[in-house]
Chains A and B, each alone.
Chain A
Amino acid sequence: MRVSTLLASAAITAAGWTAASAQDVTFYYDKSGWDEGFAALIEGASEASGLDIAGQQQTPTDRYQAYIMSSIAGGATPAIFTWWNGKQLDSLVETGEIADLTALWDEAIEAGWFSEAERELFSVDGTPYAIPLNVARWPVLYNKDAFEAAGIEQPPQSWDELIAAADALKEAGYVPFNAPAVGGWMGFIWFSELMIRTDPDAFVGLTDGSVPYDGPEVQRAMEIWTDFYERGYFTDAREQDETRFMVNEEAAMYLIGEWTAGILANRGMEPGEQIGAFLLPPIDAETENSVIVEAAPIVFSADAMEEMPALMDAARYLMSPEAGNALGAANGIYSGNLMTDAPNAIVSDVNAIIAEDAPRSIVRWWEAVPPELQGDLVSQMNAFMLDPTEENAQRVMDDMQALNESYWAFQ
């Protein structure tokens, strides 16, 4: 009797085994919380190509990467999947498994969907291998009421104004900056921002091994960072709720990707009404103005593209303004397509700032740094945030350089 139940369950097991449904194409992604947007993109791409495309979400990010990488190592490259640009894209393209999308980009630029600048973000050695899922700039989001309460009339335009604004906010009872260290990756945010505001070239040099992590350029950035902590500019890095201090209005500013506007909107802070955006100013007039850009690519397997030419129609749809608007409407995400509507006031504000100031676009540290170093280095930066003292800054720099050196020695 017991045995027969077990046999029955064995039979169910066997049935489950064979019931893996046959889809034409699977679209893998790791972006959690964008389900609605992905559903819309996948539906549109299926319609446009006539293929039966199914979405497959896998989290967390490191496990997702592991899954994709081992698939490729095992000779089974997924047909469509999201990835990261910069060095992450370089090493992916190196496998020779990723489809060249030059023709599609030519079309898209012709149609006015994108400019050469975006093409560059998704290219390796001048050849585009990916299309944008989203493009996000990294401004400072600020609480308009807090600025008003502190008597700050307009967002800071220079470093001195920034310090003055921070002090005024402190005076008015706010912590100037929300700076969480959750999720294991947020440590690089202020590190890279302070680097690009003091020496953008040195920042780029960090990511290709030509500038050391314990040299004078990094020393300077770490000094400012330590100083900011001493002045009480940052929230407690041990807080687990990323946006808590913004939402309860304890903190006034938040340096983060512009997609966070959507998260804040969900928690009751209306972009444009309560939240504004500005770019952190460079430390002095001689330093080039720049902006960190994060670009999430979608890539296609070269083999799948060859087997199923209709996949190109899916790619074309995913680049289109319709797809961009679908994602914007569903999740407030900006695809970077110039012909889409800005999904919220923050995106249009940042668009306006960039049109006016024309800052240099710099690839986000996370994507620019060799992937092998990413995790090791960022956890050092997290460690600094948890213990922001001079001694620890030195230890963190030494450790980062030791890791950096051993990596580049191998290359």
Chain B
Amino acid sequence: MAVDISDPAFIETLKRRERAGQKPSYLRLAIAVVLLIAYLVPFYYLFVTVFKTTDEYLRSSVLDLPTSLAPFWDNVVQAWTLGGMGRASINSMSYAVLGAGLATALAAGAAYGLTRLKLRSANAWFMLIFAGTLFPFQMFLVPLFFGFQRTGLINTWAGMVLVYTAICIPFPLLVLRGSFGAIAREIDEAARIEGASEWRVFASMILPNAKGPLIALFLIQFTFVWNDLLFSSILAGSPEVRSIMVALQALQGTYSSTGPNVVVTASLISSVPTVVLFIFLRRYFMSGLQLGT
């Protein structure tokens, strides 16, 4: 179809269309706002509940606004002490920081070996490590429980760090293999000619060039470990090493006198680190999604 684009009539229709195209965008905005409000109702529930006492919770409707903000601290204190969340959050923080950190670092090392050095059948090595993610987690539970029990790693802090590190390696490796592969060859060739060791090339040439993906990967794996219930529920049952999610589940699952207000406060507490990271590092989270696909 031939159109004379300098024809004023045509430009006029285009402009009209554009304006018409903008108008529905306000309609869409209105729909989006309504949907968002419906979508956020559970958060509304969460925020009114953490400010209620157990008595108030049981007597009023769950949707009522709290009568005062004061009960919040008492709820936090109760969740913290009854659920043992203090200890549990330190545990989970150390599992998540170390597990995700070590995994990203080890995956970076492996990705360097696979992409920047002359390794024969590098692809086969990669497939071997990556094969670890083919299976659903259920496949690992019985052997890990039995193996941990046999070796004494069960209910130990070190055992948890090791298992989380191992689980978190394959995915960053997949991603970093791509990002390291995309870095120009000249960079490390030049450094090697100048006599830099492989370690130096890795640490000061390649790693700084992949800062974005490294941070994104750390965040994704941190969130995974912090949120994990499956592995920690079978491998760390004792109060000393129990994870935050196991503590939360114990608080919710027991037939105790803990009121819904306290349990809901505990789930808020258990969400603080990941939400804070998300708010401040949203850019990396979103770019992490791109890495994943």
Task: Please list the residues of chain A having a beta carbon within 8 angstroms of any beta carbon in chain B.
Answer: 2-3, 6, 9-10, 13-14, 16-17, 20, 32, 56-60, 63-64, 66-67, 70-71, 74, 76, 180, 182-183, 186, 240-244, 247, 263, 267
Q: A13-B98, A16-B161 are in contact. List 20 more A-B contacts (CB 8 A).
A: A3-B203, A6-B102, A9-B98, A13-B158, A13-B161, A14-B158, A16-B156, A16-B157, A17-B156, A60-B250, A64-B237, A74-B149, A76-B149, A180-B255, A183-B254, A240-B260, A241-B256, A241-B257, A241-B259, A244-B257
Asked if residues A59 and B256 are in contact (CB atoms below 8 Å), the reply is no
Counting contact residues on chain B (CB < 8 A from A), the size range is 20 to 34
Asked if B45 is an interface residue, CB under 8 A from chain A, the answer is: no
Residue A66 contacts which of B58, B145, B162, B207 (CB distance < 8 angstroms)? Answer: B145
Query: How far apart are B103's CB and chain A's nearest CB, in angstroms?
Result: 10
Residue of A66, A76, A241, A267 most packed against chain B (CB within 10 A)? A241
Asked if residues B255 and A63 are in contact (CB atoms below 8 Å), the reply is no
List 20 A–B pairs whose Cβ atoms lie within 8 Å, in order of A's numbering.
A2-B105, A2-B207, A3-B203, A6-B105, A9-B101, A13-B158, A17-B158, A56-B155, A56-B238, A57-B239, A58-B155, A59-B237, A63-B237, A66-B145, A180-B255, A183-B253, A183-B254, A186-B255, A241-B255, A241-B258
Dominant secondary structure at the B interface: helix
Asked if B234 is an interface residue, CB under 8 A from chain A, the answer is: yes
Encode contact with A along B231-254: 1 for CB under 8 Å, 0 otherwise: 001100111000000000010011
3 closest pairs, A vs B, by CB? Answer: A182-B255, A242-B255, A183-B255
Q: For residue A186, which residues in chain B have a CB less than 8 angstroms away from its CB?
A: 255
Asked if B150 is an interface residue, CB under 8 A from chain A, the answer is: yes
Q: Given the complex of chains A and B, what is the CA–CA distance between A63 and B150 in angstroms?
A: 16
Asked if B146 is an interface residue, CB under 8 A from chain A, the answer is: yes
Dominant secondary structure at the A interface: helix
Q: For residue B250, which residues in chain A have a CB less than 8 angstroms away from its CB?
A: 59-60
Q: For residue A13, which residues in chain B have a CB less than 8 angstroms away from its CB?
A: 98, 102, 158, 161-162
Instruction: Give chain B interface residues in 89-146, CB to chain A under 8 Å.
Output: 98, 101-102, 105, 145-146
Query: How far apart are A316's CB and chain B's nearest CB, in angstroms?
Result: 28
Asked if B152 is an interface residue, CB under 8 A from chain A, the answer is: yes
Q: For residue B237, which residues in chain A have a CB less than 8 angstroms away from its CB?
A: 58-60, 63-64, 67
* Contact A267-B257, Cβ < 8 Å, known A9-B101, A58-B237, A70-B146: yes
Asked if residues B256 and A242 are in contact (CB atoms below 8 Å), the reply is yes
Instruction: Give chain B interface residues in 202-246, CB to chain A under 8 Å.
Output: 203, 207, 233-234, 237-239
Nearest neighbor of A247 in chain B, beta-carbon distance: B257
Query: How far apart are B47's CB and chain A's nearest CB, in angstroms?
Result: 21
Encode contact with A along B58-91: 1 for CB under 8 Å, 0 otherwise: 1000000000000000000000000000000000
Asked if residues A74 and B257 are in contact (CB atoms below 8 Å), the reply is no
Asked if B201 is an interface residue, CB under 8 A from chain A, the answer is: no
Nearest neighbor of A63 in chain B, beta-carbon distance: B237
Query: How far apart are B28's CB and chain A's nearest CB, in angstroms?
Result: 41
Asked if residues A71 and B102 are in contact (CB atoms below 8 Å), the reply is no
Nearest neighbor of B97 in chain A, beta-carbon distance: A9
